[in-house]
C-alpha cells in the first residue's frame, strides 16, 4: 500500500466513546435499566415482526410514532423528531444548527458526547463550568450565553454524570437569553422521568427551546436505539433535512409505538428505581465516600479513603462494573454507579465496603 488516506483532523484525533464492555456479573456502568421490558411488550414486538413489509422502505415520516409521542406530550406530530437514540437527535441538531463557523456551549462536567459530536461536526465548543457542587446558577450560565452568543446551548437535566437537576427557572432564563440573539437551547432529559417536571412543557412555536428524551434509560430499551425531540415545527423541519432518508427502520417504528402502550409499567419501574436510589444513597452515607444528590438513576461518588481508580479496579475484580470518571476534569477520584436491581445494588455495596477497607 502506498500513501494511506487520513481522516479529517477532528475525526482522526478523536479517541471515540469509551465505556468498557467488560464481561462481569453486575453491570452498573451505562445507566441502563436492570430489568427487561414487560413480557407483553416483547410478545407484541414478536407479533409485529411478522407484519413488517420487509421488501418496502419504512414510513419516512414516522407518522404513527410521532403521533403517539405527540399525544403523550400534548404537542402536534410536527413538533416531534425521532432518531436512532438521542445521540442521533443531538448529532442532527449540530448538523443543522452547528458546523463550521458556529459554536455550541455546554456546562461541564457533563455528558461527554456533546463535546465529541461538536468536534466531529466541526462546531466550536464553548465550555462553561458548573460550581464545585455541580450546581449551575442562572447568573453564571446567562453570562456565558449572553457574552459568547453561541448558536446552540446544551443543558443536561438531570445532568450526567453528576445527577444534578436544573435549578428552578434556569431553563426559562436560558431560553430567554438565547432568544435575544437567535440561539437555540437544547435540554437533554435522557433521565427526565426520574426527576420532577419537564422542560417539554415549555416548548412552543415562539420559543427557541427543544427537549430530547430517549427510550434507552427509563423505557428499558437501550437495545432498540430510539430517541426523540420535542421541538417547534420550524426546528423539526430543519432536522428532517439533515436526517438520512428512512433512518428509522420499519421494526423500530413499530417498537416505539408498542412501547408507549406500557407507560404504566414503565412508571412503576421508575418509582422502584427511585426508591432503590434513595436507599443506596442512604447506605453510601455510612461509608467513607462523598456523594452528590441525584435526580437520575445513578449516583456519583468519590471514595475518600483510597484513590478512585483503585476502588474501580477492586470492584471489577469482584465482578462489579461501575463507570470510572477519575480522569475527567473537575471530577478527580469520582465513580458513577447505575442503580440496578436490589440484588445488584447489594452486591455493589458489599464489594464497595470491602474495597474501601
Ligand X SMILES: *Cc1c(COP(=O)(O)O)cnc(C)c1O
Binding-site ranges for ligand X (CB under 6 A): 31, 85-87, 111, 156, 160, 188, 190, 214, 216, 222, 227
Minimal distance, residue 242 CB to ligand X, in Å = 17
The DSSP annotation for 255-273 comes to HHHHHGGGHHHHHHHHHHH
Parallel, antiparallel, or unpaired: how do β-strands 227-230 and 209-214 relate?
Answer: antiparallel
| Residue closer to ligand X (CB basis): 111 or 292 | 111
Residue closest to ligand X (Cβ): 85
Minimal distance, residue 101 CB to ligand X, in Å = 26
Parallel, antiparallel, or unpaired: how do β-strands 80-83 and 227-230 relate?
Answer: antiparallel
Residue linked to cell 430489568 = 35
| Residue closer to ligand X (CB basis): 66 or 318 | 66
Minimal distance, residue 46 CB to ligand X, in Å = 23
d(CA 193, CA 242): 28
d(CA 44, CA 46): 5
Parallel, antiparallel, or unpaired: how do β-strands 323-324 and 335-338 relate?
Answer: antiparallel
Which one, of 60, 19, 278, 351, lies nearest residue 160 by Cα? 19
| Residue closer to ligand X (CB basis): 86 or 198 | 86
| Residue closer to ligand X (CB basis): 104 or 351 | 104
| Residue closer to ligand X (CB basis): 89 or 280 | 89
**Count of other CB atoms within 10 angstroms of residue 193:** 22
Minimal distance, residue 67 CB to ligand X, in Å = 20
Which one, of 96, 93, 78, lies nearest residue 204 by Cα? 78
| Residue closer to ligand X (CB basis): 277 or 318 | 277
Minimal distance, residue 33 CB to ligand X, in Å = 12
Minimal distance, residue 191 CB to ligand X, in Å = 7
Amino acid at each position: 500500500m502506498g500513501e494511506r488516506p487520513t481522516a479529517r483532523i477532528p475525526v482522526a484525533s478523536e479517541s471515540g466513546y469509551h465505556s468498557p464492555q467488560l464481561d462481569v456479573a453486575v453491570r452498573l456502568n451505562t445507566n441502563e435499566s436492570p430489568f427487561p421490558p414487560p413480557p407483553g411488550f416483547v410478545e407484541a414486538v414478536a407479533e409485529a415482526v411478522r407484519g413488517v413489509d420487509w421488501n418496502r422502505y419504512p414510513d419516512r415520516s414516522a407518522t404513527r410514532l410521532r403521533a403517539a409521542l405527540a399525544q403523550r406530550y400534548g404537542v402536534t406530530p410536527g413538533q416531534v423528531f425521532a432518531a436512532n437514540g438521542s445521540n442521533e437527535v443531538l448529532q442532527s441538531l449540530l448538523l443543522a444548527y452547528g458546523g463550521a463557523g458556529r459554536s455550541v456551549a455546554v456546562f461541564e462536567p457533563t455528558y461527554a458526547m456533546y463535546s465529541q459530536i461538536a468536534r466531529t461536526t466541526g462546531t466550536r465548543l464553548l465550555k462553561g463550568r458548573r460550581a464545585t457542587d455541580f450546581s449551575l446558577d442562572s447568573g453564571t450560565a446567562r453570562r456565558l450565553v449572553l457574552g459568547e452568543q453561541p448558536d446552540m446551548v446544551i443543558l443536561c437535566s438531570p445532568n450526567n454524570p453528576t445527577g444534578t437537576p436544573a435549578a428552578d427557572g434556569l431553563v426559562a432564563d436560558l431560553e430567554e437569553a438565547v432568544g435575544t440573539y437567535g440561539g437555540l437551547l437544547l435540554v437533554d432529559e435522557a433521565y427526565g422521568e426520574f426527576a420532577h417536571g419537564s422542560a417539554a412543557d415549555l416548548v412552543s412555536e415562539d420559543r427557541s427551546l427543544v427537549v430530547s428524551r430517549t427510550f434507552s434509560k427509563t423505557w428499558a430499551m437501550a437495545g432498540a436505539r430510539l430517541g426523540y425531540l420535542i421541538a417547534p415545527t420550524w426546528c423539526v423541519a430543519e432536522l428532517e433535512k439533515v436526517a438520512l432518508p428512512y433512518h428509522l427502520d420499519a421494526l423500530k417504528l413499530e417498537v416505539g409505538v408498542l412501547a408507549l402502550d406500557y407507560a404504566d409499567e414503565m412508571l412503576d419501574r421508575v418509582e422502584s428505581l427511585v426508591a432503590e436510589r434513595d436507599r443506596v444513597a442512604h447506605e453510601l452515607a455510612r461509608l467513607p465516600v462523598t456523594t452528590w444528590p441525584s435526580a437520575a438513576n445513578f449516583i456519583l461518588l468519590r471514595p475518600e479513603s483510597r484513590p478512585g481508580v483503585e476502588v474501580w479496579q477492586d470492584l471489577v475484580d469482584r465482578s462489579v462494573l461501575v463507570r470510572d470518571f477519575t480522569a475527567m476534569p473537575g471530577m478527580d477520584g469520582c465513580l458513577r454507579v447505575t442503580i440496578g436491581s436490589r440484588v445488584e445494588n447489594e452486591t455493589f455495596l458489599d464489594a464497595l465496603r470491602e474495597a474501601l477497607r
